[in-house]
Every structure is written in structure tokens, then in C-alpha cells.
Amino acid sequence: MRILLVQPTTRYPNNKLLRSKTRWLLGLTIPYLAGLTPRSITVEVADDRLGPIPYQRRYDLVGITATCATADRAYEIAREFRQRGTPVVMGGFHVTLHPEEVLEHCDAVVVGEAEPVWEQVLEDARLHRLKPRYQANEFHDMVGLPRPRLELMDYRKYRVKIVPTQTSRGCPYHCSFCEVPIVYGHTYRRRPLGEVLEEIKTLVRITGLKNIYFIDDNLTGHRDYAKELFRGLMPLNVSWSCLWTINTSRDEELLDLAKKSGCSHVNIGIENVCPESIDSIEKVQNPVKEYEWLLGRLRDKGIFYSLNFMFGLDGDRLELFNETLVFLDRIKAPMAFFNSATPRRGTPLWEQLNQEGRVHKPEAEKYLGMVCNFVPKNMSPEECEEGVWRCFQKFYSFSSICRRLLLPPTGYIFQGLPSNLFFHYVANRRIDPVDFY
């Protein structure tokens, strides 16, 4: 039996497909799904962004993963294979949130996590008896997960050579704009630490790389677990990056362990510097008045960080864009990303805005945060979008880069300057830096 696993690319609002010769980072979904597949089955992989899809080859099944941003392109790929007589199964966040919509474009969907049902999907495909919907009755306990088959991936096509892995799924918080709690049933589950560390050792040996990326939505959602993980990483002599919440900085022992174990970068959803806006999205873990202190602790420990912002929330006014830039300049933030708030269908924020009649461009959820899909209270959607681009262009201007990284020199120069200069180039061409990931 032969299967193909496909990662679709994004289609821009102007109908143009996002293409590139390389990506910034390797994701986990496709190699992990390959690892979940029995070795008796031949697995091929295709990244629609990096090269052509092999429609002409014969497969017993094509599996396509879909996010909100890639769903439309996923449907096109599915249609092409089905016209050639190849069955298609789809999974991913968008599928879990909207299975009935997706079923109009494929033969079967996997709703939720794949581990409990994937072998049944493959067996049913082999016997030509695919069911429309596969969904486990409960969430996986995260024990005994297979290792991702990174050997199937061409690392020459990724600019940053990293090893993706996971320690947990879900998040202990319930922000109203986020689909993670919905998809994972408001659970926060963790893998046995011994299995995580053994997997990292194996992947380092296979790839020859010692740069680890934890794909967890919140690596430090359970502080004691995170500390034990960091202690276990120390003898491995690896460098690692992750996502965690800003309130992680309250725990000095955790920060010390993170640094000693090789932490090279953390990405933080700071979202907004307006307390009213933070309250409107139920982001209880983000104390706006303590941002400067909490981020200062990362600087004191020498931990490089990047921040994510969203605009258009109920407390946001036009002056907030400049206030955000002043804040970032004051703390000398090494890196930041800016977006229009883009609630996905199925999240509490979407339901609220939809009931209020404020969703004016529902398809904009597919455009990665550069298009405002609802009417903010205190600005127009167009003003919100322009404010986002202005933040990108001013934050990554030469004068801002000099103030934040060079005058005087900070400990972030060597790690931050190359990415800042690259983002200066793309932001001035109105290309979202996130596209390169």
C-alpha cells in the first residue's frame, strides 16, 4: 500500500498561491503522521508550497492536513486527486472545527486526534470501504507516541535546521479568540518525560542536529513538569525554542533552568498593551501592568524572545498602534509580530462578534491575520489593517533596529539582527514575515 501526505500552501486574498524555494522551519504534522503509519505502508510526503504535487502517481490514499489558512487550497488538491480516482482523507484544526464543510470536498475526515483512528483509516482505505467520519471517543493519554519520521523530510529546504517535537497538547487557559481549547476539549495533557527525552536523543542521532523546537501551544503550562523537562535536557547539550506565556517569568527557578538547559528563543502571545482589550479576550494570564517587569526578567537571564500582538479588540483605539511601538522601543524588544485580531469560526470570540453582527468578511479568517474580518468598536477594519502594517514597518525600520539592538549594544544583537534586517526587507514590501515560516 502506498499513501501520500500533503501539506497545502496558503492562497492570498488576491487568489495568488504562496510559493517559495524554502521555509523557515520544519513543522511536525506531516513527519509525525508518517511515524504513526505502519512501516509496512510506503509513505511519501509533499509540501505544496515548496514544490509540485505528484498528481500523476498512483496512491491508495492521500492524506491532507488543513488549517483555516490552507483549507481552500486543500480542497483544490483533494478535488484533483479524486478526479483521478484516488480517495482523500483530511484532518487538522480546520477539519475538527468544521467537519461537515470539509466532507463536501473529500471522502473522509479525521475529527480530533489521529492516534486512535489512523490505522483504521488506513485499513478501510486498503479494503475500499472508507467511512465519512473518524473520531475517537476520548483524547489520547499521550503515552507511547511514535517518533516523527524526519528522515522523510528534505532539510535542505528549511532555512533553520531544527528538530520538532512535542511534550504536551492543549493549554490550561481559555482565551476567547483561540481554537486550541476547542480542538483539545479544554484539556492539557503531557507526555511521560522519559519518552520525550528518549525521542529527542533519537532524533538528534538521526538528523545530526541539536536544535530542538517544541511545538507545544504552551510548554510551561505545568511548571513542575517543565522544570523536570529542563533538568532532563541539560545533559543532552541541545539548544531549544518554544512558546510559553508571559507569566512564566514569575518563576525565577524555571527561567534559570530554561537558560541552563539551552533555551535559545521563546515566543509569547502578549497580544495587546491595553488592559481593557486583554480583559475582552479573557487572557487572564497577561497582567498588562507587569509586562515590562516580566519581559525584563527574560532580558536579565539572557533569554531571547519574540512577541505576538493583535489589534482591533474592543478596547483598541487608533492611538494604540503608536502606544505599542513606544512600549516596544522602551523595553528594547528584540522581535515582534503584528496582526489584526482574526477569530476563527467556532471560537467564543467569533460567536460573540457574529451575534453582534460585526463579522463583515468571514472568509478573512483564512488570511493569517493581515485582513480584519470584523468591525472593531473604535476603528474601521481598514484602519486596523493599515495600523498593523505601520507597526511592522516602523518596528523593523533601521532607526528602530538601531535603538533596540545597537544603541547601546544589547545581548540580543547576534541572534536578533539578522532576522530584524530580513523582516525590514519584507515588511517594506508588505509581505507578512510569518509567511516565511
3-state SS, one letter per residue, for 38-56: CCCCEEEEEECCCCCCCCC
Name the more confident of 123 and 342: 123
pLDDT of residue 362: 73
Torsion of CA 394, 418, 332, 342, to 10 degrees: 60
Distances (CA, A) of 18 to 37, 223, 225, 280, 432: 29, 38, 38, 33, 11
For range 210-214, the mean pLDDT: 97
The pLDDT mean for the chain works out to 94
Mind spelling out the 3-state secondary structure of 343-376? CCCCCHHHHHHHHCCCECCHHHHHCCCCCCCECC
Q: What is the pTM of this model?
A: 0.94
Q: Is the pLDDT of residue 68 over 80?
A: yes
pLDDT classification of 436: cutoffs 50, 70, 90 = confident
pLDDT of residue 12: 77
pLDDT of residue 142: 96
Q: Is the pLDDT of residue 368 over 80?
A: no
Q: Is the pLDDT of residue 387 over 90?
A: yes
pLDDT classification of 367: cutoffs 50, 70, 90 = low
Q: Is the pLDDT of residue 364 over 90?
A: no
Q: Is the pLDDT of residue 13 over 80?
A: no
Q: Worst-scoring range by mean pLDDT, 11-25, 81-95, 145-159?
A: 11-25
User: Residues with Cβ < 8 Å from 404, sequence gap 6 or more?
Assistant: 328, 329, 332, 333, 334, 410, 416, 420
pLDDT digits (tens, 9 = 90+) for 177-205: 999 999 999 999 999 999 999 999 999 99
Q: Worst-scoring range by mean pLDDT, 11-20, 116-125, 163-172, 369-378?
A: 11-20
pLDDT of residue 75: 97
